[in-house]
Amino acid sequence: MAEAYIEKQLANARGDDEDVWKEVQTLHNRKLWHQLSVKITEMLSSDLFASGGMVELHDSFIVHFYDRINLQTYAKMCLTVATQYESPHDALAFFEQCLERVSGDALARVCIISAMAELHLLLNQTDVTKAKLKEAEALLEEQAGVTEMHANFYRVAAEYYKNQGVYHEFYTNALRYLGCIELDTLGPEQQVQRAFDLALAAILGKGVYNFGELLAHPILESLRSTSKEWLIDLLYAFNSGDLAKFEFLQPQWGSDPDLKANESVMQEKIRLLALMEMVFRAPANNRRLAFDAIGDATKTPVDQVEMLVMKALSLGLVRGSLDEVDSVAVLTWVQPRVLSQQQVEAMATRFNAWTATVDQTASAMETRAPELYAL
């Protein structure tokens, strides 16, 4: 029973540990379940169980009142307890029991199912991992908003897609995971690794043409003063379609095996981004872009410009039409992106120019056609 477990711990406790167990006993006897759950959570993250004992704590104590505390809190306790099982198979059996206990709370179930998916991934059971993630995702789609319970799902999903080499899905889930946590909960080395993985996924990910969200995220600062700091410059080069900077950084990215092996993918992506930047910077009333001008801006042979624009149109990066007779692309729209500070400044400059044009037009109308303003 729970009381017997506490008495056993008190009999063996010394110093500050004895005070901890006395507080636990008091909270349990007074049936202060919320306060007790907070205390147990605190204990699980302390050094008290560093050498073991979490499994016994759960089986001999927590399990007797789990249904009287918040089930999401209980699910998080289970995640910590599972780290002290000797094998992934034992941990999975434990999670099966926990899953039954939290059946009444969808988010708690997501937490446990995601942890199970992670263990299956560790066992290289990728098909089961995928199935578990789909099960958890279906539950999340029924929930409103984003909570800390989403974090575990996004983290495991990111690891799964990283394992499978699906860069764009990894990128999406890894960014969502970072949006669910406080960055300082990750150690310095973890931050550097996540920033590195995200940068590579953004550059190589199929369908990833928006770098603004990553560039604005403080995770990238962890790469400063490291051997991978050049990745930040490379991301900015892609974000603005800066081919000259991309070529200047070739000695750095050429030393990375993943980037070097996907050089052709990178070349195509940065040319598409250079086209998007060209359309973005063009005046809204003058977006008839000659093939030779596009070729110069994207460093693409003129005879390949048409294919480049058609690729951008098919991907939904731009909208418009091609005039093959006059060798002109009429592009009326460019996919919205999270803008960098430099791009926002460029937009502000164009807005000021547009305002000045409107003022000049209004002034001309007042001077030359006053009858238009007559009542």
- CATH 1.10.443.10 corresponds to the domain 274-373: no
- Reported as half-sphere exposure (CB side, CA atoms, 13 A), residue 311 has a value of 14
Provide mean pLDDT across the span 320-339: 88
∠83-89-90 over CA atoms, to 5°?
60
With a CB cutoff of 8 Å and minimum separation 6, the contacts of 33 are: 65, 68, 69
CA distances from 77 to 107, 133, 244 (A): 14, 21, 52
Q: Find the distance separating the first CA and the last CA of the chain, reported in whole Å.
A: 91
Provide mean pLDDT across the span 97-106: 96
- Separation CA 59–CA 277 (nearest Å): 60
pLDDT score of 371 more than 60: no
From the number of C-beta atoms within 10 Å of its C-beta (0-12, 13-18, 19+), residue 23 rates as middle
From the number of C-beta atoms within 10 Å of its C-beta (0-12, 13-18, 19+), residue 348 rates as exposed
Q: Yes or no: say if 205 and 164 are a contact pair by the CB < 8 Å rule.
A: no
pLDDT per residue over 11-21, tens digit each?
998 888 999 99
pLDDT per residue over 152-175, tens digit each?
999 999 999 999 999 999 999 999
pLDDT per residue over 242-273, tens digit each?
999 999 999 999 999 999 999 999 999 999 99
Domain locations along the chain:
162-178+187-261, 274-373
- Separation CA 66–CA 104 (nearest Å): 12
Predicted pLDDT of residue 360: 75
pLDDT tier, 346 (very low <50, low <70, confident <90, very high otherwise):
low
pLDDT score of 297 more than 60: yes
Predicted pLDDT of residue 13: 86
pLDDT score of 301 more than 90: yes
> Mean pLDDT in the chain?
92
Predicted pLDDT of residue 348: 65
Predicted pLDDT of residue 61: 97
- For the entire predicted model, the pTM comes to 0.85
CA distances from 217 to 146, 151, 175 (A): 18, 17, 9
Provide mean pLDDT across the span 47-76: 96
What's CA 182's distance to the chain center, in Å? 13
Q: Which residue has the higher pLDDT, 147 or 93?
A: 93
Predicted pLDDT of residue 339: 61
Predicted pLDDT of residue 353: 63
Number of neighbouring beta carbons within 10 Å of residue 339: 18
pLDDT per residue over 200-211, tens digit each?
999 999 999 999
Q: Yes or no: say if 219 and 198 are a contact pair by the CB < 8 Å rule.
A: yes
Helices (H), 125-262: 126-140, 149-164, 167-180, 188-204, 212-215, 230-239, 243-248, 250-253, 257-261
